[in-house]
Structure 1
Amino acid sequence: MTSSRLTHLECPECGIRYDADTVHGLCHCGSPLFARYDLTAAAAAVTPADIAARAPTLWRYRELLPVRDPAYIISLGEGMTPLLPLRRLGKRYDLPGLLMKDDGLLPTGTFKARGAAVAVSRAAELGVRAAAMPTNGNAGAAWAAYAARAGIRMLVAMPVDAPAITRAEIRAAGAELYLVR
């Protein structure tokens, strides 16, 4: 399997670079860190035809995802979701060819499953044993599900008035849920 072309992490605010193979939180300035890739190497390693021939999952784009060793990929079966034509709505707003992506078919019922799959996989690869996050809903449920699959302890903080269904999903996945006012 061709590997990730991840090169480093970088702060979009102050430009400081960080080692991509070390666990980091935020930059010293408080900004989130962005993953950076060697796009030239990725383009040389794989063609659009190569990608199209791969299994229809988000991991088909592995050169542009941060997981280096495929043994650490944590998956719940997230695949490619359909693009549905919205002809009448497109006609109403003069947008011919308007499409909607149906991410309700992803394992956790939301597009947040993609990010959770990648982030939890990378966390597992880096040896992370516990993670915590604040959320208003779907991200917490997705992270809880993927962390459970990875065997990573997950702590989720969310508002007391967050949807009951989301709280139930987080608890069902085995995450520790903390409701805050």
Structure 2
Amino acid sequence: MVAQHLVTRFPNKVNKLVLACTSPGGNNFSSFDLRKIVSSSKNQIESWLQLLDSRYKIPEENLPILNMVKDALHTNTKLFPHLITDGLTRQLEARSGHDCVNSLRDIPHQTLIVGGRYDDIAPLKNLLEMHRLIKNSQLQIFEGGHLFLMQDKQAWPAIISFLVSESDTLKA
């Protein structure tokens, strides 16, 4: 979300743009409002895991990264959603007002939009909308949820390949 605001306000500071597991915001394309998990007192961990990867409750799915996160959440009370600091509260509040829908059309930069197929925090419809709005964008969907960068071994090489390619939007 921060990258979207940065590139629309200071386009000369950016050569290329990667938007990963994010949403353009506004009324129709916001990321899941994480304040709902904070305000719910029951099943916070289960709700969080389900949002991270919509396959979470499918027994036949093998999700080692998500299971690792689950174990960490059950053993460490200093992680979200257990620990809510003032800074996190302010971040969640700011996140709820994020809206770059109308300014994404103005991004001239080569942009790679990446996300996880099973991400319920930044769902596929939001990535598709960003791709539609940013004229010089590519969209790649990976196997995984919000943690697709750890779940799909193809994600990082795709991002690196995009970033090191010769074309530079500002030189074009």
Output the TM-score relative to the length of structure 1. 0.28
- More strand by proportion, 1 or 2? 1
Task: Mark the structure with the bigger radius of gyration.
Answer: 1
Output the TM-score relative to the length of structure 2. 0.30
- More helix by proportion, 1 or 2? 2
Relative contact order, higher structure (CA 8 A, sep 6+) = 2
